[in-house]
A = this chain, B = another copy of it.
Amino acid sequence: MAGSTFGTLFKITTWGESHGEALGVVVDGCPAGLSLNEEDIQNYLDRRKPGATKFATQRKESDSVEILSGVFEGKTTGTPISMLVRNTSQRSADYSEIASYYRPGHADYTFDQKYGFRDYRGGGRSSGRETIGRVAAGAIAAKALAQLGITVTAYTHAIGDITINMEHFDLEEARTNHTGMPDKEASEQAAQYLKACMERLDSAGGVVACRVENLPAGIGEPVFEKLDANLAKAILSIGAVKAFEIGDGTAAAKLNGSINNDCFCMENGTVVKTTNHAGGVLGGISDGSELLIKAYFKPTPSIFQEQNTVNRDGENITVQIKGRHDPIIVPRAVVVVEAMTAITVFDMLLQNMTAQMAHLEHFYKR
Protein backbone atom coordinates (compact mmCIF):
# COMPACT_ATOMS: atom_id res chain seq x y z
CA MET A 1 0.00 0.00 0.00
CA ALA A 2 1.00 3.60 -0.47
CA GLY A 3 2.89 4.66 2.66
CA SER A 4 5.14 7.44 1.40
CA THR A 5 2.71 10.32 1.78
CA PHE A 6 2.29 12.28 5.02
CA GLY A 7 -0.11 15.08 5.91
CA THR A 8 -3.59 16.21 5.03
CA LEU A 9 -3.50 19.76 3.72
CA PHE A 10 0.27 20.25 3.67
CA LYS A 11 1.13 16.88 2.17
CA ILE A 12 4.55 15.47 1.44
CA THR A 13 5.43 12.43 -0.66
CA THR A 14 9.01 11.21 -0.38
CA TRP A 15 10.78 8.74 -2.62
CA GLY A 16 14.22 7.29 -3.26
CA GLU A 17 16.69 4.66 -2.17
CA SER A 18 20.13 4.91 -0.63
CA HIS A 19 21.90 3.78 -3.78
CA GLY A 20 19.34 4.65 -6.45
CA GLU A 21 19.63 7.51 -8.91
CA ALA A 22 18.28 10.16 -6.60
CA LEU A 23 16.02 10.91 -3.66
CA GLY A 24 13.38 13.57 -3.32
CA VAL A 25 10.02 14.80 -2.22
CA VAL A 26 6.92 16.43 -3.61
CA VAL A 27 5.41 19.01 -1.27
CA ASP A 28 1.78 19.61 -2.11
CA GLY A 29 -0.57 22.07 -0.48
CA CYS A 30 2.00 24.70 0.38
CA PRO A 31 0.15 28.02 0.39
CA ALA A 32 1.04 30.41 -2.43
CA GLY A 33 3.17 33.46 -1.81
CA LEU A 34 5.91 32.05 0.42
CA SER A 35 9.35 33.31 -0.58
CA LEU A 36 11.46 30.25 -1.28
CA ASN A 37 14.72 29.37 -2.95
CA GLU A 38 17.13 26.47 -3.06
CA GLU A 39 19.31 27.97 -0.36
CA ASP A 40 16.44 27.76 2.13
CA ILE A 41 16.34 24.02 1.52
CA GLN A 42 20.09 23.50 1.27
CA ASN A 43 20.66 25.01 4.71
CA TYR A 44 18.52 22.29 6.21
CA LEU A 45 19.96 19.48 4.11
CA ASP A 46 23.47 20.50 5.09
CA ARG A 47 22.57 19.81 8.72
CA ARG A 48 21.90 16.12 7.95
CA LYS A 49 24.63 15.69 5.31
CA PRO A 50 27.02 12.77 5.74
CA GLY A 51 30.23 14.15 7.17
CA ALA A 52 28.46 16.98 8.94
CA THR A 53 29.78 15.51 12.17
CA LYS A 54 32.70 13.23 12.85
CA PHE A 55 30.24 10.73 14.30
CA ALA A 56 28.77 10.17 10.86
CA THR A 57 29.46 8.01 7.86
CA GLN A 58 32.30 9.38 5.78
CA ARG A 59 30.34 8.75 2.57
CA LYS A 60 30.84 11.87 0.47
CA GLU A 61 27.62 13.37 -0.77
CA SER A 62 27.05 17.02 -1.55
CA ASP A 63 23.30 16.47 -1.27
CA SER A 64 22.63 19.43 -3.55
CA VAL A 65 18.97 20.12 -3.93
CA GLU A 66 17.20 21.18 -7.11
CA ILE A 67 13.70 22.72 -7.01
CA LEU A 68 11.88 21.53 -10.12
CA SER A 69 8.40 23.02 -9.78
CA GLY A 70 6.00 25.05 -7.71
CA VAL A 71 8.13 28.16 -7.33
CA PHE A 72 7.91 31.11 -9.72
CA GLU A 73 9.70 34.41 -9.44
CA GLY A 74 10.97 33.42 -5.99
CA LYS A 75 7.61 32.55 -4.52
CA THR A 76 5.57 29.40 -4.06
CA THR A 77 2.64 29.28 -6.47
CA GLY A 78 0.34 26.92 -4.55
CA THR A 79 1.18 24.05 -6.91
CA PRO A 80 3.31 21.03 -5.90
CA ILE A 81 6.97 21.72 -5.15
CA SER A 82 9.18 18.91 -6.41
CA MET A 83 12.69 18.69 -4.99
CA LEU A 84 15.48 16.37 -6.05
CA VAL A 85 18.86 15.32 -4.68
CA ARG A 86 21.07 13.14 -6.88
CA ASN A 87 23.09 10.33 -5.33
CA THR A 88 26.72 10.69 -6.36
CA SER A 89 28.68 8.38 -4.11
CA GLN A 90 26.95 5.04 -4.54
CA ARG A 91 29.37 2.26 -3.73
CA SER A 92 27.00 -0.59 -4.25
CA ALA A 93 29.78 -3.13 -4.36
CA ASP A 94 30.08 -2.70 -0.58
CA TYR A 95 26.64 -4.10 -0.28
CA SER A 96 26.49 -7.00 -2.68
CA GLU A 97 27.41 -9.31 0.14
CA ILE A 98 24.44 -8.33 2.29
CA ALA A 99 22.09 -9.34 -0.51
CA SER A 100 22.27 -12.87 0.78
CA TYR A 101 21.67 -12.42 4.52
CA TYR A 102 19.71 -10.46 7.09
CA ARG A 103 21.58 -7.87 9.17
CA PRO A 104 20.48 -7.86 12.83
CA GLY A 105 18.54 -4.74 13.78
CA HIS A 106 17.93 -3.83 10.12
CA ALA A 107 14.85 -4.15 7.96
CA ASP A 108 16.40 -6.62 5.51
CA TYR A 109 14.34 -9.54 6.75
CA THR A 110 11.05 -7.67 7.01
CA PHE A 111 11.37 -6.12 3.53
CA ASP A 112 12.00 -9.57 2.09
CA GLN A 113 9.01 -10.96 3.94
CA LYS A 114 6.75 -8.16 2.79
CA TYR A 115 7.82 -7.56 -0.80
CA GLY A 116 9.38 -10.90 -1.76
CA PHE A 117 12.74 -9.27 -2.52
CA ARG A 118 14.51 -6.00 -1.78
CA ASP A 119 16.89 -3.36 -3.03
CA TYR A 120 19.66 -4.45 -0.69
CA ARG A 121 22.12 -1.68 -1.59
CA GLY A 122 22.71 0.30 1.58
CA GLY A 123 19.34 -0.63 2.99
CA GLY A 124 17.50 0.73 -0.04
CA ARG A 125 14.42 2.59 1.09
CA SER A 126 15.00 1.81 4.79
CA SER A 127 18.30 3.72 4.77
CA GLY A 128 18.72 6.93 6.70
CA ARG A 129 19.12 8.65 3.33
CA GLU A 130 15.35 8.31 2.98
CA THR A 131 15.10 11.30 5.33
CA ILE A 132 16.43 13.69 2.69
CA GLY A 133 12.92 14.23 1.40
CA ARG A 134 11.59 14.83 4.91
CA VAL A 135 14.24 17.44 5.64
CA ALA A 136 13.72 19.27 2.34
CA ALA A 137 9.98 19.40 3.02
CA GLY A 138 10.58 20.40 6.61
CA ALA A 139 12.62 23.37 5.49
CA ILE A 140 9.54 24.71 3.71
CA ALA A 141 7.22 24.09 6.66
CA ALA A 142 9.70 25.72 9.04
CA LYS A 143 10.03 28.75 6.80
CA ALA A 144 6.27 29.16 6.59
CA LEU A 145 5.95 28.80 10.36
CA ALA A 146 8.71 31.31 10.92
CA GLN A 147 6.79 33.80 8.81
CA LEU A 148 3.96 33.43 11.33
CA GLY A 149 6.42 33.92 14.20
CA ILE A 150 6.50 30.24 15.19
CA THR A 151 9.89 28.57 15.68
CA VAL A 152 10.77 24.90 15.77
CA THR A 153 14.04 23.91 17.42
CA ALA A 154 15.44 20.42 17.90
CA TYR A 155 18.66 19.39 19.63
CA THR A 156 20.31 16.36 21.18
CA HIS A 157 18.94 15.86 24.69
CA ALA A 158 20.93 12.77 25.65
CA ILE A 159 23.50 10.31 24.32
CA GLY A 160 23.75 7.01 26.15
CA ASP A 161 23.63 7.93 29.84
CA ILE A 162 24.72 11.55 29.34
CA THR A 163 21.92 14.07 29.48
CA ILE A 164 22.16 17.81 28.91
CA ASN A 165 21.84 20.22 31.80
CA MET A 166 19.11 22.70 30.88
CA GLU A 167 20.89 25.39 32.87
CA HIS A 168 23.75 25.22 30.36
CA PHE A 169 21.40 25.48 27.39
CA ASP A 170 23.17 27.06 24.42
CA LEU A 171 21.63 26.45 21.01
CA GLU A 172 24.60 27.91 19.16
CA GLU A 173 26.77 25.21 20.74
CA ALA A 174 24.37 22.51 19.51
CA ARG A 175 24.55 23.80 15.96
CA THR A 176 28.34 23.73 15.83
CA ASN A 177 29.56 20.73 17.84
CA HIS A 178 29.60 17.08 16.76
CA THR A 179 26.89 15.81 19.10
CA GLY A 180 24.11 18.33 18.59
CA MET A 181 23.97 18.90 22.35
CA PRO A 182 23.24 22.48 23.48
CA ASP A 183 25.58 22.02 26.46
CA LYS A 184 29.34 22.13 25.95
CA GLU A 185 30.18 20.02 28.97
CA ALA A 186 27.70 17.26 28.23
CA SER A 187 28.76 17.31 24.61
CA GLU A 188 32.37 16.72 25.50
CA GLN A 189 31.45 13.81 27.76
CA ALA A 190 29.27 12.37 25.03
CA ALA A 191 32.08 12.69 22.51
CA GLN A 192 34.32 10.70 24.83
CA TYR A 193 31.65 8.08 25.23
CA LEU A 194 31.12 7.79 21.48
CA LYS A 195 34.84 7.49 20.88
CA ALA A 196 34.91 4.60 23.34
CA CYS A 197 31.95 2.96 21.60
CA MET A 198 33.72 3.21 18.25
CA GLU A 199 36.84 1.68 19.66
CA ARG A 200 34.76 -1.26 20.88
CA LEU A 201 33.26 -1.49 17.34
CA ASP A 202 29.94 -0.64 18.96
CA SER A 203 27.26 1.98 18.54
CA ALA A 204 25.16 4.20 20.83
CA GLY A 205 21.64 5.54 21.14
CA GLY A 206 20.24 8.81 22.41
CA VAL A 207 17.41 11.28 22.67
CA VAL A 208 16.40 14.23 20.50
CA ALA A 209 14.20 16.95 21.99
CA CYS A 210 12.19 19.45 19.98
CA ARG A 211 10.44 22.64 21.06
CA VAL A 212 7.87 24.72 19.23
CA GLU A 213 7.67 28.27 20.50
CA ASN A 214 4.95 30.84 19.96
CA LEU A 215 2.42 28.27 18.78
CA PRO A 216 -1.11 29.67 19.14
CA ALA A 217 -3.70 27.83 21.22
CA GLY A 218 -6.27 25.79 19.29
CA ILE A 219 -4.10 23.62 17.01
CA GLY A 220 -5.08 19.92 16.87
CA GLU A 221 -8.23 18.06 15.79
CA PRO A 222 -9.91 15.77 18.33
CA VAL A 223 -10.23 12.92 18.68
CA PHE A 224 -7.89 11.06 16.32
CA GLU A 225 -6.06 13.95 14.72
CA LYS A 226 -4.82 15.35 18.00
CA LEU A 227 -1.67 17.40 17.71
CA ASP A 228 0.31 15.03 19.92
CA ALA A 229 -1.09 11.94 18.16
CA ASN A 230 0.10 13.23 14.81
CA LEU A 231 3.46 14.22 16.25
CA ALA A 232 3.83 10.73 17.70
CA LYS A 233 3.21 9.23 14.28
CA ALA A 234 5.56 11.68 12.61
CA ILE A 235 8.34 10.88 15.07
CA LEU A 236 7.86 7.10 15.14
CA SER A 237 7.91 7.11 11.34
CA ILE A 238 11.57 8.12 11.55
CA GLY A 239 13.80 5.06 11.38
CA ALA A 240 15.27 3.84 14.72
CA VAL A 241 12.87 5.77 16.98
CA LYS A 242 11.54 3.53 19.77
CA ALA A 243 9.66 5.97 22.01
CA PHE A 244 7.87 9.31 21.91
CA GLU A 245 7.10 11.65 24.77
CA ILE A 246 5.26 14.91 25.10
CA GLY A 247 5.82 17.16 28.11
CA ASP A 248 6.79 15.11 31.14
CA GLY A 249 6.11 11.96 29.09
CA THR A 250 6.81 8.69 30.87
CA ALA A 251 7.47 10.57 34.12
CA ALA A 252 3.87 11.81 34.20
CA ALA A 253 2.73 8.24 34.87
CA LYS A 254 4.41 8.39 38.27
CA LEU A 255 3.11 11.81 39.32
CA ASN A 256 -0.03 12.67 41.23
CA GLY A 257 -2.66 14.90 39.70
CA SER A 258 -1.97 17.64 42.25
CA ILE A 259 1.55 17.93 40.84
CA ASN A 260 0.95 17.09 37.23
CA ASN A 261 -1.94 19.50 36.65
CA ASP A 262 -0.77 22.84 35.25
CA CYS A 263 -2.73 25.65 36.87
CA PHE A 264 -4.01 28.54 34.79
CA CYS A 265 -3.54 32.17 35.76
CA MET A 266 -3.86 35.57 34.13
CA GLU A 267 -0.68 37.30 33.01
CA ASN A 268 -0.87 40.68 31.30
CA GLY A 269 -4.48 40.02 30.40
CA THR A 270 -3.69 36.64 28.89
CA VAL A 271 -4.44 33.12 30.13
CA VAL A 272 -1.18 31.29 30.82
CA LYS A 273 -0.17 28.14 32.65
CA THR A 274 2.06 28.43 35.72
CA THR A 275 3.82 25.15 34.85
CA ASN A 276 4.03 23.06 31.69
CA HIS A 277 4.02 19.38 32.62
CA ALA A 278 1.64 18.84 29.72
CA GLY A 279 4.20 19.99 27.15
CA GLY A 280 1.85 22.39 25.42
CA VAL A 281 -1.26 20.33 24.68
CA LEU A 282 -4.52 19.73 26.50
CA GLY A 283 -7.00 17.28 25.00
CA GLY A 284 -4.81 17.06 21.90
CA ILE A 285 -5.06 20.79 21.21
CA SER A 286 -2.22 23.28 21.69
CA ASP A 287 -2.70 25.42 24.79
CA GLY A 288 -0.50 28.37 23.88
CA SER A 289 2.49 27.33 25.95
CA GLU A 290 5.69 25.83 24.58
CA LEU A 291 5.33 22.49 22.84
CA LEU A 292 7.97 20.00 23.97
CA ILE A 293 8.47 16.50 22.60
CA LYS A 294 11.21 13.88 22.77
CA ALA A 295 12.27 11.13 20.37
CA TYR A 296 14.23 8.13 21.66
CA PHE A 297 16.61 6.57 19.13
CA LYS A 298 18.05 3.08 19.38
CA PRO A 299 21.78 2.61 18.70
CA THR A 300 22.83 2.30 15.04
CA PRO A 301 22.22 -1.35 14.11
CA SER A 302 25.28 -1.48 11.82
CA ILE A 303 28.17 -2.43 14.11
CA PHE A 304 31.51 -3.87 13.11
CA GLN A 305 31.50 -6.65 15.67
CA GLU A 306 30.80 -10.19 14.58
CA GLN A 307 27.09 -11.03 14.91
CA ASN A 308 24.95 -14.13 14.52
CA THR A 309 22.25 -14.18 11.89
CA VAL A 310 20.74 -16.27 9.09
CA ASN A 311 21.04 -16.10 5.32
CA ARG A 312 18.36 -16.34 2.65
CA ASP A 313 19.06 -20.05 2.34
CA GLY A 314 17.99 -20.54 5.95
CA GLU A 315 21.43 -21.21 7.39
CA ASN A 316 22.80 -19.89 10.67
CA ILE A 317 25.88 -17.78 9.92
CA THR A 318 28.09 -15.15 11.53
CA VAL A 319 28.63 -11.83 9.79
CA GLN A 320 30.79 -8.78 10.13
CA ILE A 321 29.30 -5.69 8.53
CA LYS A 322 31.46 -3.47 6.32
CA GLY A 323 30.72 -0.16 4.70
CA ARG A 324 30.41 3.41 6.00
CA HIS A 325 28.17 3.78 9.04
CA ASP A 326 27.41 6.30 11.77
CA PRO A 327 28.29 5.12 15.29
CA ILE A 328 25.20 7.02 16.46
CA ILE A 329 22.12 8.20 14.61
CA VAL A 330 21.17 11.06 16.90
CA PRO A 331 23.30 14.04 15.79
CA ARG A 332 22.18 13.78 12.18
CA ALA A 333 18.61 12.95 13.25
CA VAL A 334 18.19 16.28 15.04
CA VAL A 335 17.23 18.08 11.85
CA VAL A 336 14.96 15.20 10.85
CA VAL A 337 13.00 15.50 14.10
CA GLU A 338 12.84 19.26 13.57
CA ALA A 339 11.59 18.73 10.02
CA MET A 340 8.89 16.22 10.91
CA THR A 341 7.71 18.43 13.76
CA ALA A 342 7.51 21.47 11.50
CA ILE A 343 5.62 19.54 8.83
CA THR A 344 3.11 18.20 11.34
CA VAL A 345 2.55 21.48 13.13
CA PHE A 346 2.16 23.42 9.90
CA ASP A 347 -0.33 20.92 8.48
CA MET A 348 -2.43 21.13 11.62
CA LEU A 349 -2.18 24.91 11.67
CA LEU A 350 -3.81 24.88 8.23
CA GLN A 351 -6.47 22.44 9.39
CA ASN A 352 -7.44 24.66 12.30
CA MET A 353 -8.46 27.55 10.05
CA THR A 354 -11.90 26.07 9.44
CA ALA A 355 -12.84 25.39 13.07
CA GLN A 356 -15.51 28.07 13.38
CA MET A 357 -18.27 29.43 11.16
CA ALA A 358 -17.12 32.85 12.30
CA HIS A 359 -13.80 32.24 10.50
CA LEU A 360 -15.64 31.36 7.28
CA GLU A 361 -17.84 34.40 7.48
CA HIS A 362 -14.82 36.59 8.04
CA PHE A 363 -12.97 34.97 5.14
CA TYR A 364 -15.73 34.79 2.53
CA LYS A 365 -17.75 37.86 3.36
CA ARG A 366 -14.92 40.36 3.40
Q: Does A246 contact B (CB under 8 A)?
A: yes
Find out whether the CB atom of B246 lies under 8 angstroms from the CB atom of A243.
yes
Find out whether the CB atom of B261 lies under 8 angstroms from the CB atom of A355.
no
Q: How many residues of A are in contact with the other chain, CB < 8 A? A: 169
Find out whether the CB atom of B216 lies under 8 angstroms from the CB atom of A364.
yes
Find out whether the CB atom of B114 lies under 8 angstroms from the CB atom of A78.
yes
A258 to B205, CA, bound (A): 11
A266 to B109, CA, bound (A): 13
Q: How far is the CB of A306 from chain B (nearest CB, A)?
A: 10
Residues in chain B near residue A266, CB distance under 8 A = 310, 314-316
Of the candidate stretches A45-53, A176-184, A248-256, the one touching chain B is A248-256
Find out whether the CB atom of B218 lies under 8 angstroms from the CB atom of A66.
no
Q: Does A126 contact B (CB under 8 A)?
A: yes
Find out whether the CB atom of B33 lies under 8 angstroms from the CB atom of A258.
no
- The answer to whether residues A284 and B107 also contact, given A1-B225, A243-B245 and a CB cut-off of 8 A, is yes
- The answer to whether residues A10 and B17 also contact, given A125-B77, A202-B257, A261-B303 and a CB cut-off of 8 A, is no
Residues in chain B near residue A286, CB distance under 8 A = 110
A285 to B221, CA, bound (A): 27
Find out whether the CB atom of B257 lies under 8 angstroms from the CB atom of A15.
no
Find out whether the CB atom of A5 lies under 8 angstroms from the CB atom of B15.
no
Find out whether the CB atom of A105 lies under 8 angstroms from the CB atom of B260.
yes
Partner of A77, one of B11, B119, B352: B119
- The answer to whether residues A29 and B357 also contact, given A282-B106, A364-B216 and a CB cut-off of 8 A, is no
Q: Does A192 contact B (CB under 8 A)?
A: no
A205 to B243, CA, bound (A): 18
Find out whether the CB atom of B261 lies under 8 angstroms from the CB atom of A3.
no
Q: How far is the CB of A76 from chain B (nearest CB, A)?
A: 8
Partner of A1, one of B107, B250, B257, B351: B351
Find out whether the CB atom of B236 lies under 8 angstroms from the CB atom of A229.
yes
Q: Does A158 contact B (CB under 8 A)?
A: yes
